[in-house]
Amino acid sequence: MGRGMSFPMIQFTKEKVVIVTGSNTELSEDGFERMFQVNYLSQFLLTAHLLPIMKTSGEDCRIVLVSSNAHKYASRFDVNSIHYKGDPEKFSSYQYYSKSKEHQVMQMFSMNHRLQGSNVAITSLHPGVVNTEFSRYIQERNCCWNCIGKCVWSGAFTRTPFEGAKTTIDAAVNPKWKGKGGIYFESCKEATPTAQSRNEEYQTALWRHTLELLKNHLPTDILQGLEGKNE
Ligand SMILES: NC(=O)c1ccc[n+]([C@@H]2O[C@H](COP(=O)([O-])OP(=O)(O)OC[C@H]3O[C@@H](n4cnc5c(N)ncnc54)[C@H](OP(=O)(O)O)[C@@H]3O)[C@@H](O)[C@H]2O)c1
């Protein structure tokens, strides 16, 4: 894929993988909605490439997808509308951010299903509203982004980066979570993501669409494993 498919920031903690963000209101040079590509598709691709290595790398391998409570603001799921092609005036970057974060949660459930009985567990989480450099990417100003921006810039109701990292670190290394996948965390505790993200029909539709988009970017054996043809 082109430069637009560059991986988001990746932090490796031993065999743990934590993957993060990006934002834009234009289609990527690959023709995909950019937040979908940067926040979801690229980390799916990376995870897919790493899975065979992880499966032979010790008894406690974990994939932690850093999602967001913003997934709760995603509008109705429709696999056909993932790649925006409409009026730029109507484009809401917060909506596409929310969707990309919802897709991460859905990936977590789908992949967890396929990792049952293996040494790899996948979880997802909301880190809290954290005072990072996150808001520098925000180009569009609407009430949702403004609210987040104000919180982050003022420091009100926000966590320090140290505090904000705790849920991710807990998910990645706490022995309590060994072998436990399919969990969405908030403040180091199990939480319930939206009903829409837990909808298995939607998860399957997203999974199939994702594999279709990535079929030319994954070796056949990995692709077949994800399609369930190696089972
Ligand atoms: N901060 C919050 O309140 C909050 C709340 C909920 C969820 N999250 C999630 O937490 C994760 C981490 O965000 P953060 O708050 O730590 O933000 P951050 O400090 O801005 O870090 C984001 C990182 O992603 C990298 N990045 C962004 N777009 C990229 C791209 N297209 N290609 C490669 N790297 C890219 C940035 O690299 P550069 O520095 O080189 O640009 C930066 O290192 C994200 O997934 C975000 O959605 C954050």
Q: How far apart are CA 130 and CA 135, in angstroms?
A: 10
pLDDT of res. 14: 29
Interval 208-229 mean pLDDT: 92
pLDDT band at 131 (very low <50, low <70, confident <90, very high): confident
pLDDT band at 23 (very low <50, low <70, confident <90, very high): very low
Q: Measured from the CA of 38, which atom of ligand 1 is nearest?
A: 31
- In percent, the amount of the chain with pLDDT more than 70 equals 75
Q: Which residue has the higher pLDDT, 32 or 26?
A: 32
| Residue 125 CA, ligand 1 centroid: distance in Å | 14
**pTM, entire model:** 0.86
Query: 72: which 2 tokens?
Result: 């709760």
Q: What is the DSSP string of the chain?
A: --GGG----EEEETTEEEE-----SSB-TTSSBHHIIIIIIHHHHHHHHHHHHHTTS-S-EEEEEE--GGGGG--S--GGGSS--S-GGG--HHHHHHHHHHHHHHHHHHHHHHTTTSSEEEEEEE--SB-SSGGGG--S--HHHHHHHHHHHH-TT-B-HHHHHHHHHHHHH-GGGTT--S-EEETTEEE---TTTT-HHHHHHHHHHHHHHHTTSS-HHHHHHHHTTT-
Return the CATH number of the domain spanning residue range 3-129+160-227.
3.40.50.720
Where are the domains positioned within the chain?
3-129+160-227
Does the CB atom of residue 100 touch ligand 1 within 6 A?
no
Query: 50: which 2 tokens?
Result: 């790493």
Q: Whose CA is nearest to atom 36 of ligand 1?
A: 9
Contact 165, 127 (CB under 8 A): yes
Q: Is the pLDDT of residue 29 over 90?
A: no
Q: Is the pLDDT of residue 108 over 50?
A: yes
Query: 81: which 2 tokens?
Result: 């509308």
Q: Is the pLDDT of residue 227 over 80?
A: yes
Choose which residue among 1, 7, 9 to substitute to test ligand 1 binding: the one with the highest number of ligand atoms within 8 A of its C-beta: 9
Does the CB atom of residue 160 touch ligand 1 within 6 A?
no
Pairing status of strand 16-19 against strand 10-13: antiparallel
Residue in this structure with the two tokens 């926040």, named with its chain if needed: 39
Q: Is the pLDDT of residue 6 over 60?
A: no
Pairing status of strand 120-126 against strand 184-186: parallel
Choose which residue among 5, 21, 139, 168 to substitute to test ligand 1 binding: the one with the highest number of ligand atoms within 8 A of its C-beta: 21
Per mean pLDDT, which range of 40-44, 154-158, 190-194, 199-203 is the poorest? Answer: 154-158
| Residue 22 CA, ligand 1 centroid: distance in Å | 6
pLDDT of res. 140: 58
Query: 155: which 2 tokens?
Result: 């420091």
Q: How far apart are CA 8 and CA 18, in angstroms?
A: 10
Please list, in sequence order, all residues whose beta carbon lies within 8 angstroms of the beta carbon of residue 172, skipping any fewer than 6 positions away. 13, 16, 18, 62, 64
Please list, in sequence order, all residues whose beta carbon lies within 8 angstroms of the beta carbon of residue 155, skipping any fewer than 6 positions away. 131
Does the CB atom of residue 127 touch ligand 1 within 6 A?
yes
Q: How far apart are CA 5 and CA 22, in angstroms?
A: 11
Per mean pLDDT, which range of 40-44, 57-61, 226-230 is the poorest? Answer: 226-230
pLDDT band at 147 (very low <50, low <70, confident <90, very high): confident
Q: Measured from the CA of 4, which atom of ligand 1 is nearest?
A: 31
